[in-house]
Amino acid sequence: MLNEAQLEAYLHRLAYQGSRNADLATLTALHQAHLQKIAFENLDISLGNKLDLSTDALLDKLLWQGRGGFCYELNQAFALLLETLGFGVSRLSARVHNGKDYGPDFDHMLLLVHVDGQDYLADVGFGDCFRTPLQLGGEGVHELGLHYYLAADGDAHYVLMQARDGGVGHAQYRFSLQAYAIAAFFKMCTYQQTSPASHFTQKSICSIATAKGRISISNNKCIITDEHGRHVHTINGEDEYMALLLKYFGMKLAGDVDVGKLLVRQA
C-alpha cells in the first residue's frame, strides 16, 4: 500500500485527475494513462545497474527519477497503486511466447484485478499490448487495428492472443489464475537482467504508447508508429540519443551514464 504522499505523487506522474472510485472506469483510465506516461524500458540492465523491486526503490525510480521499467517493476508498482485505491489485485505468472515456444514460469508478471464483481487482466509492463483491461471470459478488445482476446488452453490456463483485425491470432503469453506474492518473481527478475539468454540483456529498449501508436528507442534506432505507418530513424550519437530520450519520454539520465552501452547491441 502507498501512503498519501506516494499516492498523490503517483497520480501526478500519470497526470491523472479523475475519479478514485474502485470501479472499471477508474481502472481503465489509470491503465491507459500508465501506458502513455511511464515507459517500458530496460536501460538499467544495459547499463549494468541492479534492479530493486522494493516499494521504496520502485517509487524512487518511477516517480522521483521520472524513469520507467520492465514488467516486474511496472506491474508491481501499478498493483500497489490499485490496492491503495481499494481494488483487489492478484499478481500472476506468465510464460512468454517467443514465436516457437513458451518461456519459463515467472517469465512475465501481469495482474488480475477484481472489480465490479468481475475479473479483468491489467498489464502495463509488456510493451506493445492491450490498452483497455481485458475481462476474463469476455470477447476481448479492438484497438488501433488489433484484436486482443483470451483463449482457454486446458488445465485452467489462458493464452493472451493478438491478431490484426480479421486476421489470425498469435500467442503472446500463457498464464493461470494462481496468485503469487511479489517475492515469487525475484529469481526470474535476476535472471532477466543477468543471463545472456535473456532478450533484456541483448538490447536496450525504451518504449511508450501514444494516442495513435507507439514511440520506441531500441539501441541506435528511433521507431515511431502512428496512423501513417512505421518510421525508423538511425540515431546519430550519444547527444541525439539523450535528446530523444528527453523529448519523447521526459527522461533524463545521470550525467555520468555511459550512453554508448545503450546504442549498441550487448554481447
- Model confidence pLDDT, tens digit, residues 233-249: 999 999 999 999 999 99
Q: Is the pLDDT of residue 135 over 90?
A: yes
**The pLDDT value given to residue 267:** 38
The reported pLDDT for the residue numbered 165 is: 81
Q: Please report the sign of the dihedral spanned by the C-alpha atoms of residue 227, residue 67, residue 127, residue 193.
A: positive
pLDDT of residue 88: 98
**What is residue 266's predicted lDDT score, i.e. its pLDDT?**
43
Write 165-173 long-range contacts (CB < 8 A, 24+).
Answer: 170/97, 171/97, 171/102, 172/96, 172/97, 172/126, 172/129, 173/94, 173/95, 173/96, 173/97, 173/102, 173/107, 173/108, 173/110, 173/126
Tell me: the pLDDT tens digits for 80-99?
999 999 999 999 999 999 98
- Residue labelled with grid coordinates 484484436: 147
97: helix, coil or strand?
Answer: strand
Architecture, CATH, for domain 4-135+172-186: 2-Layer Sandwich (3.30)
- Residue 255: is its pLDDT beyond 90? no
Q: What average pLDDT does the segment 60-71 reach?
A: 97
pTM: 0.96
Query: Of 12 and 228, which is predicted with more confidence?
Result: 12
Question: What local confidence, expressed as pLDDT, does residue 254 receive?
Answer: 84
Ranges of each domain in the chain = 4-135+172-186, 193-263
Q: What is the pLDDT of residue 265?
A: 56
The neighbouring-strand residues paired with 161 are: 149, 171
The answer, yes or no, to whether residue 65 has pLDDT greater than 60, is yes
Confidence class for position 264, pLDDT limits 50, 70, 90: confident
Over 90: is that where the pLDDT of 166 sits? Answer: no
